[in-house]
Amino acid sequence: MRELVRACKAISAETRLRILNIVMIRECSVTEVMQSLQISQTRASRNLGALYDAGLLNARREGAWVLYSVAKDGLDGHSRELLDALKGMLSHDRLAQQDVSRLANAKRAS
């Protein structure tokens, strides 16, 4: 139950939902998140950190970049179900789909 509460708190902000939406599609750097959501570096980093701290994201270093991906293996059953449900719900959201469209053109930059 504790992991589910932590996950729910982490997704309680629009920006974090939008980030999860694109990271469920592919691994992203902070720069790609910034470009896709059209937000500042500070806002992207802070919200990625909150999702990481909640155990919803993995982070790995590749050269100059930190790449974030969904932590599917480390999630409990409730959190996995929550992410699956969010994926379905966000697929019908106009803003979330605009983020996905911008993700297609996002580039990693140092």
The model's pLDDT over 33-54, given as tens digits with 9 standing for 90+, comes to 999 999 999 999 999 999 999 9
C-alpha span between 83 and 12 (Å, rounded): 13
Which is nearest to 56 in space by CA: 41, 44, 68?
Answer: 68
C-alpha span between 79 and 60 (Å, rounded): 21
Bridge-based pairing of strands 28-29 and 57-62 is unpaired
pTM: 0.91
Mean pLDDT is lowest, of 37-41, 90-94, 106-110, for: 106-110
Query: Higher-confidence residue: 55 or 18?
Result: 18
Facing residues of 28 across strands? 68
